[in-house]
Structure 1
């Protein structure tokens, strides 16, 4: 009786698995975005490259998962002892060992090629149009636009009352700052990142930029925004008790608006 119940449940599970996969695949992209199951929509060449690489490897892993578990469930159902199947008796198979060595090696090689291409692209900061130095500190960021002669600090602006739960949380709770960064659309921006105290990491997912800042060292990366908008990120390296209070907000804008922003920053700077 118990065996019959187990077999019945197993058949139901197997019959529902393909339906669940189909439902997931046909679910609208907007719904998936609301669930937060995937990367945010990329708005830079690096972020697009990261997204494409992620999706490529995800589909490869999905196919492997379906094949491996399909064979496993098929074997469990059709080669069980209750059906009178007897296990094969052997201790070695050169053919099997070659197959399970060569196929994974080819799969890994196939994934390594686009991964290497993406890594090389991410590290290429040549032919940049401007350079910004980013310095992390507990608990905020200092930005220096080296080609424009402006600098400012950027810190969390979420009211303390929201953090303490004394008033409702705002739309951008813990993801709002007193001074937003500004970047021109279509321009390749080189970032130099360091830290004044401990290790920090500057990260804005939609822009694809993420790099650790170490005290006494300079790391570099680049970003080239492709769309006008406001994009938010956070420090992604545990850096102390207020690590969660180090947001990043970047406004991307057309060149003419960026030039006006630069002029405004210079006029507001103390003489």
Structure 2
């Protein structure tokens, strides 16, 4: 199953099925977060709205996942999902889509759950590969306590860490560093890019069988160079020679290409001022924890 691991997909299907009977009684008005019974060591909270939208947050043995379910299939294996709580900035990234297309798994579940706990109105937009975008608006429950319990069960702070004045920026790659992996023409022209890859993790931590899910801008060879670069690397935190649930797992990661605009040959060509959100992880590194890996606080 390319959409997600078999066990997690089965659990999501069961949770959505268990909530389905309540859909007729609920509307877009806030429905309480419900604690759903689960195996020992698992904390599950979910809610469902009258249009069939369901949102689930789950801590399983210290690993946090969160996903959104619907009634109309979404083309996979991934889709760009924009989630925005009104009053806050947008929260967008590529999310993995289940094999049946009905479940979208948040790529950074900690940030998503922290946004959900604030309540208010949530706009969800799934960018379609073909046809119209999928848009859903729900009123979130006001009591954050059940979601707080999920975060606490995973030993994650309920509130995002304080990053001071919020003016932290992405580290910009120097021109000399970029020459080793950047498409030459794009580097000469000062073109930045972004690539989403679907890759397989091997038992020893190497990355294999990467597929380009999406790339922008097209025609600059960013996809090919991202695959070549990532397949030379290893996943951070894996023990060499380890076996078990990581082997054969697929994961989604995004690779940004950007170069320091201050290089003497390209003054002011790339005036990037990307700010790091609380959930941001190091530039040019696999950023989606695989099953069995606990997300960083």
Q: TM-score, normalised by structure 2?
A: 0.27
Specify the structure having the higher radius of gyration (Cα).
1
Q: TM-score, normalised by structure 1?
A: 0.28
Normalized per residue, the structure richer in helix is 1
Greater strand proportion: 2
